[in-house]
Amino acid sequence: MSADNLLSRLDKVKRTGQGKWSAQCPSHDDKGPSLSVSENDDGKILIHCFAGCSVHEVVGAVGLDLSDLFPPRPQDPAQVGKPERRPFPAADILRAVAFETMVVAMAGTALLAGQPMNAFDRDRLFIAVGRIQAALDAGGLRHG
């Protein structure tokens, strides 16, 4: 929502500067303009009633929600701010890799000892390999 939508619902609106206005507060019996409205470069709308009304009271009095004061969130993840470089703590990734590496080592030891691998063990080995690759991805590392 732009500030224009909010301003159109207010009385005695007066521009006080670039992206700034004053108006009568709709949530109390305002004799003069005690509401300050400003719109930031990022599209956020800031309001302040100098008589003490809360932001929730002000937006509610004009039929809006608090979320209306903020620009819509982008639906495309590529448009969201910088991605987190390491979404998981390194210690957690290392613990997961260590456990799955143990599964791979046990399977390898059994094969070297001549023990046949049953379907359950083979499936678990594939899961371990997949989890190790996922851990590398989570840590921001490429695997081949």
Residue 5 has pLDDT above 80, yes or no: yes
Alpha carbons within 13 A on the beta-carbon side of 35:
28
Cβ contact 122:130 at 8 Å: no
pLDDT per position as a tens digit, 62-121: 988 888 888 877 666 555 555 555 567 788 888 889 999 999 999 999 999 999 999 999
CATH class of 3-69: alpha beta
Listed by start position, the domains of the chain span 3-69, 90-138
3-state secondary structure of 98: helix
Residue 1 has pLDDT above 70, yes or no: no
pTM of the model: 0.50
Better pLDDT: 72 or 14: 14
pLDDT score of 100: 93
Q: Is 43 left (phi over 0), alpha (psi -120 to 50) or beta?
A: left
3-state secondary structure of 54: coil
